[in-house]
Chains A and B, each alone.
Chain A
Amino acid sequence: MKVLLTSLSEGQEAVVVEIAPCGPPHEAGFWGGLRCRFGWGWRGENRVSRGAAKRLADLGILPGTRIKVVRRAPFGGPIEVEVGGSRFMIGRGLASRIIVEV
C-alpha cells in the first residue's frame, strides 16, 4: 500500500517509492499547491523543490530505500527517520512529499 511518510507511526518501517514534486493539498496549502503544480511564484522555485529530492538522494534516501520513522516532532514539526544506520530529521513539508510502500 502506498502512503505518505508522514502517515507512518513511530517505529514503522517502509520502502521509499518516490519523492513527489508537491505535497498533498492539505500540507502544501492552497497557494503552495497552485505554485507547485503550475510553477507560479518567484524565480527558481521549481528548481529548488527538485533540489530537495537530490539532497535526499545524497543522504541515501532514494526509491527502493528502507526507511523507518523513529519519532515525530510535536506540533507538526519534523520527522526523525532512520536510514542505513543513521538518523535524520526531515521537515514535515518535505516528508509529506515522500511516498512510501508499507
Chain B
Amino acid sequence: MRWASAPDRGVGGRATPDLRVALAGQANVGKSVIFNQLTGLHQHIANWPGTTVDKAEGRLYYKGLLIDVVDLPGIYSLTHLSLEERISRDYIAKEKPDVVINVVDATALERHLIFTLQLIELGRPLVLVLNMMDLAEKYGIEINAEALEEELGVPVIATIATRGKGISRILDAAIELSRTSYTPKKIRYGEEVEKRLEMLESALKELDLPYPARWVALKLLEGDEEIRELVRVRSPGVIELTDELISELEHIHGHESSIIIANERACAANQIARRCMKIVKPRKPTLGDRFDEIATHPVLGYMLAAVMLAGIFFIVFGVGGAVASFFEEDLSELMREAWISSLGTAPSSEVGWSAAQSILFLIGLAIPYILPLYFLVFLLENWGYLARLSFLMDSLMHKAGVHGKAVIPMLLGFGCNVPACLATRVMDTWKERMIAILMTTLVPCSAVTVVVMGLVGRYLGISWVIGLYLFALLMAFALGSAASRILPGESVELIMEMPSYKAPSLKTILTMTWIRLREYIKIAAPLIVVIGALVKIMEIFGLLEPLSKILSPLTCGWLGLPEETGVLLIFGILRKELILTSLAALLGTLDFSQALTANQMITFSIVTILYIPCAATISALLKETGAKTTLTITAAEIGLAILVGGIASKLLLLLGIN
C-alpha cells in the first residue's frame, strides 16, 4: 500500500479533512471490500441520526491529504423511499461530499448504470468504479472504459477489489476530480419525457431547492412524495403543472408515470451499455453455476445446508465450549482469588466483583462463541452462500410472515441473541424486522444451551434436548406467524440478488468480525454490569428470599417447581447460564437429580428458553426498537413462558413423567 493510515484521532475528530468522499452502490458490488481496503481498521460504525441504519465512516492519509470516507447504505435506486435510499440521497444532496465514488459490478453493467444515471443527476462530482473486472473477463465481457467515460462524463476506474487492484487509482481520480471544475453530463431521455422535463425545470428555476432542478423535475414526474411536499410548500402551482404533465404522459404510454421514467432510464442505460460493452464469448457455466446445481437442489441443497450448519455448530460449540470453560472456571477463579486478597469480602467489594464478573462473562462469551460465529457467517456471506440459504429457506420462513433473509439472524441467534437482533437490519421493512427480532429472541442461545444440556441433556438424554430445541423453534414460528397477522403493513416479498460466488477476502471478513465484536461489547456491557450489581445488592440485603416467596404461587403452584427456582429465574435475567451455576450453589451439589424431578427439569428448561430475553439482549432490543417494543416483547415472552411451562408440566404429568 502506498498510503499510510491516519493516526487514530477518531472519525469526525478535530482535524478537518482535505477531501470528503462518499461510497455509493448497490448491494453485492464489493463496496464494503473497497471501503475496508481504503480505511482498514480506522473506521467507525454508528447509526445514521434517528435510524438504526449503519453508518460506516473512515479516514485515511493519501499523498499528504487527509481523506474522510463515508460508506452509504447499499441500495438499488434513489427512487422509492426506503430509509436507506433517503439517507443516501440526502447525504449526497445536502452534505455535498467532494466526490461520490459509485461502485458497480462490471458483470452487470447495464443494470448498475440505471443507478449511476440517478447519481449523476444529483450533480456531485462522480468517479465510476468498475469492480469485479476479473469476473467480467471470465464471463467474456469486454468494457471500453474510455467510451464509458465519454458517454457519462465521469472518470472510470477498473478494479478487482478483493485483490486490492486499482484501489489507489480510485483515490487518484477522486483527488484529480476535486481539483477541476465538474459539470455533470445531461442524460437525455425520450422526446415526450424530455419536453415535459424542460417545462418543469424552467418552472422550478426560481424556487430555492436543495437539489438540482432537473433532478427534482424527474422526481416530480416519478411521483416522489417527499419531493412533491418540498415543492408544494414553495409553489403549489408547480404541483398542478406536474399533475397535468403526469396525466398526459400516462395517457400516451399507458403505464404509471413512475414506471415510464424507470423505463426511460433503463433505455438510456441500455444504449450506453450497448455502445461501451460487448460480450466476446457466451457465458459458459462456471464452477459456481455447477456448484449451484447442488447448493439449490431440492434434496442435496438441504443436505448441504444441514452439513454446513452442523459444521458451524461444531466449531462454535465444540471448540468454543472448551475455550469458554477456561474463561468461566480457571480465569474466573484466579481473578476471584486476586480480588478477595486485595479488596476483601466487604459488601461494596462484592458488588464491585459482580461488575468485574459481568465483564469477564461477556469476554468469555464474545471470544469463544461470538467471534467464531461472526467469522463463519461473514465468510459464508462474503463467499455468496448465504443468499442460497435464503433461497432454500424462503418458503419455510414465509410461514412466519418473513422472507428468506431472516435465516441469517436466526442462525446467529443460536450463538447469542444480541448479534441476532443486530442482524435483523437486513430485513426490508419495519414489520419484517419486528417479526424477525421476536423470533430470534426465542432461539435458544449458547447460554440457554448450557442450562438445557446441564439439566435435561445430562439426566434425560440428548433426544429430549433436540425435542426441546424443535419445540423452541416451533414457538418462534408460531409467535412470528401471530405477529405477522397482528402487525400493520404488508410484508415485502423476497427480492434479492443472487450473487456470483467469490473468493472470500480474509481481510474484509476479519475487519467486519472485529468491528461487529466491538459493537457487541459496547451494546451489551453497560446493562449487564448494572443489572449484575443490582442483583448482588438485592442478595446482600437479603431481598431474594422474600421475592422467591412472592413468586412461589407461580413457580410452585402453577409450574410445579421448587421454591428456590424463583431466585434462579431472577439471576437468569442477568445471564441465563447463571441459572445452572446458582442452582449448584443453592443445592451445594452438582447432582441436580436429587433436587429436581424429570418433569421439573423439562418444565424448568422450557421456562428458561422462553421466559425473558437476557439483560444483554434487552439492551440490544432497546437500541434497535425502542422502549415500547422492548417492553412488549419482554412481557409477551414472560407470559408465554408461564403459560407454556405450566401446560407442559401438566401434560408431562399426564404422560406419566413426574
Q: Cβ of B391 and Cβ of A73 under 8 Å apart?
A: yes
19 further A-B pairs in the complex, CB-CB below 8 A; given A62-B266, A75-B298: A43-B488, A49-B490, A51-B80, A52-B495, A54-B258, A57-B262, A58-B114, A60-B111, A63-B255, A71-B296, A75-B395, A84-B110, A86-B497, A88-B495, A89-B497, A89-B498, A90-B493, A90-B494, A91-B494
Instruction: Tell me if A's interface is mostly helix, strand, loop or mixed.
Output: mixed
CA distance A55 to B498 in the complex (A): 16
Q: Cβ of A62 and Cβ of B488 under 8 Å apart?
A: no
CA distance A43 to B395 in the complex (A): 25
Q: Cβ of B489 and Cβ of A88 under 8 Å apart?
A: no
Kindly list chain A residues whose C-beta atoms are within 8 Å of the C-beta of B340. none
Q: Cβ of A73 and Cβ of B392 under 8 Å apart?
A: yes
Interface size class of A (residues with CB under 8 A): 35 or more
CA distance A78 to B195 in the complex (A): 41
CA distance A48 to B489 in the complex (A): 8
Instruction: For residue A30, give the distance in angstroms from its CB to the closest CB of chain B.
Output: 14
Interface residue? B381 (CB, 8 A): no
Q: Which residue of chain A has the shortest Cβ distance to B105 in the bound complex? A: A86
Q: Cβ of B263 and Cβ of A64 under 8 Å apart?
A: yes
CA distance A55 to B105 in the complex (A): 18
Kindly list chain B residues whose C-beta atoms are within 8 Å of the C-beta of A77. 391-395, 404
Q: Cβ of A43 and Cβ of B489 under 8 Å apart?
A: yes
Q: Which residue of chain B has the shortest Cβ distance to A65 in the bound complex? A: B266
Q: Which residue of chain B has the shortest Cβ distance to A74 in the bound complex? A: B298
Interface residue? A8 (CB, 8 A): no
Q: Which of A44, A62, A65, A77 has the most CB of B within 10 A?
A: A77
Interface residue? B390 (CB, 8 A): yes
Q: Cβ of B495 and Cβ of A59 under 8 Å apart?
A: yes
The 25 sampled A-B contact pairs (Cβ below 8 Å) are A44-B490, A55-B80, A56-B495, A57-B259, A58-B77, A58-B80, A59-B76, A60-B110, A60-B114, A65-B266, A73-B394, A75-B298, A75-B396, A77-B395, A78-B391, A84-B108, A85-B108, A85-B109, A87-B497, A89-B387, A89-B390, A89-B391, A91-B394, A92-B395, A93-B493
Within 8 A of A (CB), among B368-424: 387, 390-396, 398, 403-404
List B residues at the A interface (Cβ < 8 Å): 76-77, 79-80, 105, 107-111, 114-115, 139, 141, 255-256, 258-259, 262-263, 266, 269, 283, 292, 296, 298, 301, 387, 390-396, 398, 403-404, 429, 488-490, 492-498
CA distance A59 to B492 in the complex (A): 15
Q: Cβ of A62 and Cβ of B76 under 8 Å apart?
A: no
Given A43-B489, A52-B493, A91-B493, answer yes or no on A58-B262 (Cβ-Cβ < 8 Å). yes
Q: Cβ of A91 and Cβ of B495 under 8 Å apart?
A: yes
Q: Cβ of B493 and Cβ of A60 under 8 Å apart?
A: no
Given A45-B490, A84-B108, answer yes or no on A62-B394 (Cβ-Cβ < 8 Å). no
Instruction: For residue B644, give the distance in angstroms from its CB to the closest CB of chain A.
Output: 28
CA distance A78 to B496 in the complex (A): 10
Instruction: For residue A18, give the distance in angstroms from its CB to the closest CB of chain B.
Output: 8
Q: Cβ of A89 and Cβ of B394 under 8 Å apart?
A: yes
Q: Cβ of A94 and Cβ of B493 under 8 Å apart?
A: yes
Q: Which residue of chain B has the shortest Cβ distance to A94 in the bound complex? A: B493
Within 8 A of B (CB), among A27-70: 41-45, 48-60, 62-65, 70
